[in-house]
Amino acid sequence: MIPAAFEYHRPVDVTSAASLLRRLGDEARVLAGGHSLIPMMKLRMAAIEHLIDLQDIDALKGISIDGDTVTIGAMVTQAELIAHEGLAKVAPILREAALQIADPQVRYMGTLGGNVANGDPGNDMPGLMQALGAAFLLTGPDGAREVAARDFYEAAYMTAREEDEILTAVRFTAPPGGYAYEKQKRKIGDYATAAAAVLIGKEGGRVAHASVAMTNLSDTPVWSPAAAKALTGTDCGPEAIRAATEAALADIDPTEDNRGPVAFKRHVAGIIITRAIQRAWSRA
Amino acid sequence: MNDLSPSREERIANLKGLGCSRKRVEDVRFTQGKGNYVDDIKLPGMLQGDFVRSPYAHARVISVNKEAALALPGVIAVLTAEDLAPLNLHWMPTLAGDKQMVLADGKVLFQGQEVAFVVAEDRYIAADAVELVEVEYEELPVLTDPFAALESDVVLREDLEGQSAGAHGPRRHHNHIFLWEEGDKAATEQVLDSADVVAEEMIYYHRTHPCPLETCGAVASMDKVNGKLTLWGTFQAPHVVRTVASLLSGIEEHNIRVVSPDIGGGFGNKVGVYPGYVCSIVASIVTGRPVKWVEDRMENLMATAFARDYWMKGRIAATKEGKITGLWCHVTADHGAFDACADPTKFPAGFFHICTGSYDIPVAYVGVDGVYTNKAPGGVAYRCSFRVTEAAYFIERMVEVLAIELGMDAAELRRINFIRADQFPYHSALGWEYDSGDYHTAWDKALAAVDYAGLRREQAGRVEAFKRGETRKLLGIGLTHFTEIVGAGPVKNCDILGMGMFDSCEIRIHPTGSAIARLGTISQGQGHATTFAQILASEIGLPADSITIEEGDTDTAPYGLGTYGSRSTPVAGAAAAMVGRKIRAKAQMIAAWLLEVHEGDLDWDVDRFVVKGAPERFKTMKDIAYAAYNQAIPGLEPGLEAVSYYDPPNMTYPFGAYICVMEIDVDTGEHEIRQFYALDDCGTRINPMVIEGQVHGGLTEALAIAMGQEIAYDDIGNCKTATLMDFFIPTAWETPNYTTDFTETPSPHHPIGAKGVGESPNVGGVPAFSNAVHDAFRAFGLRHAHMPHDHWRIWKIANQLGLHG
């Protein structure tokens, strides 16, 4: 658990960070909260020659809410997400999800940007960002661009981010209606056995719109439009929920690990999705 | 004339002796981050060691190329078996009469095995050099299953080829270590053959690991000028380490000083001798510089001693009224690559034959087959006396299975089979003499405390509601009544590497009435500095706050066998009481001279000797201590100090009644502990607060083991649980509330009647949690399911019982 030698860089603005990244190429990685990268370095599974620490870049911090548009800097920690009252008003699902990530010590260091950019299917925020239909803001040598969260994840640890790009912020429209982030894990600090993010809008006693996404049930986060479709227009009764759950399960591809075999995970996923839908509907 | 105030009650309170919930004196430094652990030791010129470890579970080592590593600036040495062989240190003896490779000698037998030891100027260079050592392996077939190992043609221990007997008798196969038997096999089988009812079950107690927060480590410093070796390390038995180090190295014992500094938890993991210790010593001798080795978490979980891994086949016979008539058990014990169990020499399965538990069972038989596999060596007593947790789990599961077979309530079945209070001292069918107990009183108190009948009514209601589809949660009531055997042990049958398992205490009273006492044990969190001072305070009448307790430095502490198996209070605590009585005997002579009376005319009263019939004439222990140093007393040597070596006449037998009430979600396999009631009887209670802390800690480790903690391997011997992501250590979040309670049945042979408690909650806790899981599903036909009861395994129970619709 001793990392190999590396150079440590600590730029104070995005431009410097981006130019470091461009100059150093694939020998460099940016460091956010470090909860994924540093263990990989200590296990010597990641050989990083240059570590570019983003913590001194003020432009990557802060949460802004403009009407129903929410922009969150990449270096905002989970603890800051939880503590932000304005965010809790417009998008309470972020607090609910962040509170289910690891423990307070980890949440003081772990960031939203690190959580979404790393491409680890076990991370919770990528699934949530699917549900929200968020956009990721990237800055690279050719300037800034936006990528939809739903287009970002290609495979485990493989994303649409180019190696010389930095993920600077996450932007989404505050979701109206009910919400739920439901997660089963073995213990504090564990990745999900199964987790689901559900958003539901209600009009006239019926589901006006819905969004269903899942965590750690495939090699990427899973957004299930079919599940949302199964709910939309219904009274969100047992039949509709069963149909939506079945639709969501058709979109996942879990693998066996120490949490259990595939049959168990599929079963638990169904329970978690059902519970998330029920809770979101009860809040809609 | 003496002043008679303060009152007797005040004087007792001032001592903070037996029965006082005195705050732990150790916690001042621990809560401020001021402990001094092995890794805090930094010596001038100190080098750092690190291991090259095998990625394979079974492979031939074709070659080890050190060149690139040695070329790295800052690398001082790379040691392999070839380098250690001339010193005859490439293998070392284990505590179980086997031998173990220090560094891979031609082959590796488990993943994580030590292959080469790199010594470098700093920790980072050492880790870089480990990467540069090139080892060529040729993979061999891997055996991870002990049953398959006993059938396989694959020879794991080629070094033992041709040896048809080991330290514990004949070996019937090349992967067989020993067969150890106790009890009357023929008589037991006869009872089983003719019994009204026989319940049979295979009960696996899975492999787990003590996983202390501080991993294992050592700092060796060979002073070539005075020829003295100092070894600091995470040793639960520092004196034994000194003796072993002397025997292995040839350095005379007076030239070796072993020091256990603060230890961050041991739980049995720090009893054994590890290759890291040996390599640090050799490296220091070779380089003439201090060498530190501290393993990381993965190394700790993969390579240092595991616990359990017992496949226990049981048969229990009873009358149709439920009176148990016989118990038969055969264990297939997976010992891993080397037999490195930490047990008293004559007991290769430890005290597993306490497995008749709390019950009056007329006849019993136990056989244990030890087996080699391609897993890490160990088999230590993880927060228990030797294999007692396995035994308690076995009998407490067998009783539950028997209750199912008989259609009886498990609480009532236990009650009608308990050893009665009037049967003590009780001779068990497997050869133990239980010192004292009152099981029925404890059991009734426990059942009343939780309203057992009410719980059963609620459970029946829940089952009905579940069947009607109104709930998806089941209620489990986990019962356990355990009896431990701790305090090893009598020198006549207990030794470690030939050293009798006595223990010791030495005390010096200072002129002003304070004292320092040293013992042969070593606290790893038990709070000895607090509780041993309390024993002494009550014996010698000086306040506990005025008594310093020191342990762990072999240059100053008297010889003792260390701390594990709940032996500190039963053995060293007894030595403390006895040494206090020696002090008091001399103090009485001094008091008699000072008061100008005959010794026989004095009575001991809390902290003083008082002239019989003249309460105003007395000398306090403080007066006496001063007199011991400033008066010429005819016929007496000056000074006031003593030493006592205590050889216990018997073990002690703590017991307890635990009840766990658990909610289980049949759909997700999740559980919630609604209530946990723990009644412990550890004899005389020294410090109730420390006891409560011990019970909380032990129950939490029991929760971990029962509900998820395991060391698991895949088919090719890769350890799948080598990080704390997968190896379950409960945090405050997973830990339930515990209600603690007690009865007090003193040990008749211990000087103060104390029995030991640190391990009871683990011994009793594991079956309590596990039985709760089983009990929840009893109404649906579950007999037995193996631990750990993590989410997916509980889900699997529900799934196999058809509860998922």
Kindly report, residue by residue over B530-589, the tens digit of the pLDDT: 999 999 999 999 999 999 999 999 999 999 999 998 999 999 999 999 999 999 999 999
Q: Check CB contact of B721 with chain A, cutoff 8 Å.
A: yes
| Percentage of chain A lying above the pLDDT 70 cut | 100
A-B contacts at Cβ under 8 angstroms: 69
* Triad B629, B630, B633: Cα angle to 5°: 85
Q: Range(s) for CATH 3.90.1170.50 in chain B?
A: 38-140+215-263+270-303
Q: A260 pairs with which residues across the strands? A: A257
* Separation CA A179–CA A96 (nearest Å): 9
What sign has the CA pseudo-torsion A253, A258, A264, A269? Answer: negative
- Whether the predicted pLDDT of B232 surpasses 50: yes
Query: Distance, in angstroms, between A271 CA and closest chain B CA?
Result: 7
Question: Residues B276, B293: contact at Cβ < 8 Å?
Answer: yes
Structure tokens at B217: 């480590």
Q: Do A187 and B123 touch (CB under 8 A)?
A: no
Residues of B in contact with A190 (CB under 8 A): 725
Nearest CA in chain A to B791: A186
CA proximity to B329, closest of B419, B203, B416: B203
Please indicate whether, in this complex, the C-beta atoms of A184 and B792 are within 8 angstroms of each other.
no
Quote the minimal CA–CA distance from B272 to chain A in Å.
24
Topology of domain B306-487+651-800 in CATH is Aldehyde Oxidoreductase; domain 4 (3.30.365)
Determine the residue among A259, A262, A265, A271 to mutate to test chain B binding: the one whose Cβ has the most chain B Cβ atoms within 10 Å: A271
Delimiting residues of CATH 3.30.465.10 domain(s) in chain A: 58-173
Q: Is A178-283 CATH 3.40.50.300?
A: no
Mark out chain A residues that contact chain B at CB-CB < 8 A. Answer: 1-2, 4-5, 44, 103, 184, 186-191, 193, 258-261, 263-264, 267-268, 271-272
pLDDT band of residue B3 (cuts 50, 70, 90) is low
Asked whether the beta carbons of B51 and B299 are under 8 A apart, the reply is yes
Structure tokens at B506: 């030495």
d(CA B572, CA B488): 11
Enter the CATH code of domain B38-140+215-263+270-303. Answer: 3.90.1170.50
Mean predicted lDDT score pLDDT of chain B = 97
| Chain A residue with Cα closest to B666 | A268
Residue position matching structure tokens 């005319």:
B601
Q: Measure A65 CA to nearest chain B CA, in Å.
A: 33
Q: What CATH code is assigned to A7-53?
A: 3.30.43.10
Is A258 within 8 Å of B128 when comparing Cβ atoms?
A: no
Asked if B96 and B30 touch (Cβ cutoff 8 Å), the reply is no
Place of tokens 């066996």: A256
Burial of B10 (0-12, 13-18, 19+ CB in 10 A): exposed
Mean pLDDT over B410-434 rounds to 98
pLDDT at A46: 87
What class has domain A58-173?
A: alpha beta
Q: Would you put residue A166 in left (φ > 0), alpha (ψ -120 to 50) or beta?
A: beta
Say how many C-beta atoms besides its own lie within 10 A of residue B158's C-beta.
Answer: 12
- Structure tokens, B565: 């198996």
Mean pLDDT computed over B16-41: 96
Q: What are phi and psi of A111, to 5 degrees?
A: -115, 160
Q: Please, where in chain A does CATH 3.30.390.50 lie?
A: 178-283
pLDDT at B4: 65
Nearest to B708 among A5, A186, A193 (CB): A186
Name the token pair of B738: 């515990």
More confident residue, A135 or B3: A135
Distance of residue B667 Cα from the nearest chain A Cα, in angstroms = 7
Percent of chain B with pLDDT over 70: 100
Q: How far apart are CA A269 and CA A194, in angstroms?
A: 5
Peptide bond before residue B6 is cis, with ω within 30 degrees of 0: yes
pLDDT value of position B248: 86
User: What is the CATH code of the structural domain delimited by B8-35+503-646?
Assistant: 3.30.365.10
Specify the 3-state DSSP secondary structure of B773. helix
Say if residue B1's pLDDT is above 60. Answer: no
Residue numbers in A near B721 (CB within 8 A): 258
Q: Are A267 and B791 a contacting pair at CB < 8 A?
A: no
pLDDT value for B2 = 55
B460-511 confidence digits (pLDDT tens): 999 999 999 999 999 999 999 999 999 998 999 999 988 999 999 999 999 9
Q: How far apart are CA B373 and CA B309, in angstroms?
A: 11
The residues of chain B that CATH labels 3.30.365.10 are 8-35+503-646, 306-487+651-800
Catalytic positions of B, please? 236, 383-384, 759
Q: How many Å from the N-terminal Cα to the C-terminal Cα in chain B? A: 87
Contacts of B628 by beta carbon, 8 Å cutoff, 6+ apart: B509, B511, B586, B587, B590, B638, B639, B640
pLDDT value of residue B530: 98
Question: Alpha-carbon Rg of chain A, whole angstroms?
Answer: 19
Give CATH 3.30.43.10 domain extents, chain A: 7-53
Q: In chain A, where do the E strands start and end?
A: 7-9, 28-31, 50-53, 63-66, 69-73, 135-140, 143-148, 153-155, 158-159, 166-173, 178-185, 192-203, 206-215, 222-223
Residue B5's pLDDT is 77
Is residue B122 less than 8 Å (CB to CB) from chain A?
Answer: no
Strands in B464-605 per DSSP E: 473-483, 495-496, 499-500, 503-509, 515-519, 547-551, 602-605
Per the CB < 8 A criterion, the answer to whether A101 and A79 are in contact is no
